[in-house]
């Protein structure tokens, strides 16, 4: 049951995170929304509350460990507990290795990898105390297969895959009742392509997304499916994308 679950969503200001927030709010979740664009979060939380849902928001840069602790504290202040965290914030400045966009490599490591680690570190003490919790993270099909242009991006998403799977195995062995779910989206129409600065990579991606991209609401649907499972069941991994994308 999603109703009354307290769920933190990072990257809630657009795309997959925003669509998931709207979906879970309709299902009766109590939401804590995080991202850097405060105006977006404020508007989204306001819309949800006006429609009869529950949502608070906190400005957060997932690359900052302290911000991750603050959003968990905000959830506890607002709703008294945390049932799930959706570690979804990310960026995808694709480029060939030869372009040597080292600042973008650093940023992807900071946000896509460290953002997930800091999020888990921030929420884990609460989950251990509660003896239950659900950790969901957005990887990518680029975390399953190598794609030119996605050397570093794909690497960060392979990291998420490995980390989440080991976390699942350890949690099961330790009997902590902490469940995990890793999502591998293919081409989803969001603002993600706006993070690409390499002209050729941007053109190639635009062509792919124009041809195949599907709505972020489809990812929201599968996140809701995983969250809706009873406590004795885990949906570990799912790949979701356009039916026509090769």
- Owner of token pair 């799977």: 165
Q: Measured from the CB atom, is 174 or 222 closer to ligand NDP?
A: 222
Among 20, 58, 95, 140, binds ligand NDP (CB under 6 A): 140
> Per CB under 6 A, which of residues 144..183 are in contact with ligand NDP?
none
- State in angstroms the smallest separation of the CB of 174 from ligand NDP: 27
The verdict on 63 binding ligand NDP (CB under 6 A) reads yes
The verdict on 8 binding ligand NDP (CB under 6 A) reads no
Among 25, 56, 62, 202, binds ligand NDP (CB under 6 A): 62
Among 188, 196, 220, 222, binds ligand NDP (CB under 6 A): 188
The verdict on 196 binding ligand NDP (CB under 6 A) reads no
In three-state secondary structure terms, 229 is: coil
> Per CB under 6 A, which of residues 68..107 are in contact with ligand NDP?
88-92
Q: Which strands make up the sheet holding 54-59, listed edge to edge?
A: 54-59, 30-35, 6-10, 84-87, 133-138, 178-185, 237-240
In three-state secondary structure terms, 90 is: coil
The verdict on 35 binding ligand NDP (CB under 6 A) reads yes
- Beta-strand ranges (E) seen in 79-196 are 84-87, 133-138, 178-185
| Count, residues near ligand NDP per rule CB under 6 A | 31
Rounded to 5°, angle at Cα 212 from 207 and 214 = 125
Catalytic residues: 153
The verdict on 10 binding ligand NDP (CB under 6 A) reads yes
> Any residues with CB less than 8 A from the CB of 6 and at least 6 apart, and which?
29, 30, 32, 75, 79, 80, 81, 82, 83, 84
Task: Dump the DSSP string for 166-204.
Answer: HHHHHHHHHT--EEEEEEEE-SB-SSGGGG---HHHHHH
Q: Segment contacting ligand NDP (CB under 6 A): 59-67, 93-101, 196-204, 224-232?
A: 59-67
Among 29, 72, 190, 226, binds ligand NDP (CB under 6 A): 190
Q: Measured from the CB atom, is 120 or 187 closer to ligand NDP?
A: 187
- Confirm if 120 and 135 have CB atoms less than 8 A apart: yes
Report the C-alpha gap between 129 and 35 in whole angstroms: 26
Among 2, 7, 8, 15, binds ligand NDP (CB under 6 A): 15
The verdict on 187 binding ligand NDP (CB under 6 A) reads yes
Closest by Cα among 70, 5, 36 to 195: 36
Site residues for ligand NDP per CB under 6 A: 10-17, 35-37, 40, 60-63, 88-92, 111, 138, 140, 185, 187-188, 190-192, 216
């Amino acid at each position: 049951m999603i109703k009354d679950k307290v769920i933190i969503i990072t990257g809630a200001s657009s795309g997959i995170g925003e669509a998931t927030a709207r979906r879970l709010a309709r299902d009766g979740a109590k939401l804590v929304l995080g991202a850097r664009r405060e105006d977006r979060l404020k508007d989204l939380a306001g819309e949800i509350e006006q429609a009869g849902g529950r949502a608070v928001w906190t400005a957060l840069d997932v690359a900052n460990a302290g911000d991750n602790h603050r959003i968990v504290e905000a959830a506890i202040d607002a709703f008294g507990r945390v049932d799930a965290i959706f570690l979804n914030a990310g960026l995808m400045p694709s480029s060939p290795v030869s372009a040597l966009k080292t600042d973008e490599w650093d940023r992807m490591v900071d946000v896509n990898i460290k953002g997930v680690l800091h999020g888990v570190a921030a929420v884990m003490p609460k989950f251990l105390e509660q003896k239950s919790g659900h950790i969901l993270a957005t990887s990518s099909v680029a975390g399953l297969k190598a794609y030119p242009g996605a050397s570093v991006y794909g690497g960060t998403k392979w990291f998420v895959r490995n980390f989440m799977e080991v976390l699942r195995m350890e949690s099961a062995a330790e009997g902590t009742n902490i469940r995990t779910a890793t999502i591998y989206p293919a081409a989803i129409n969001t603002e993600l392509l706006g993070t690409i600065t390499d002209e050729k990579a941007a053109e190639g991606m635009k062509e792919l997304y124009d041809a195949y991209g599907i709505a972020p609401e489809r990812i929201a649907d599968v996140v809701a499916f995983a969250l809706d499972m009873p406590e004795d069941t885990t949906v570990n991994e799912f790949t979701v994308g356009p039916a026509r994308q090769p």
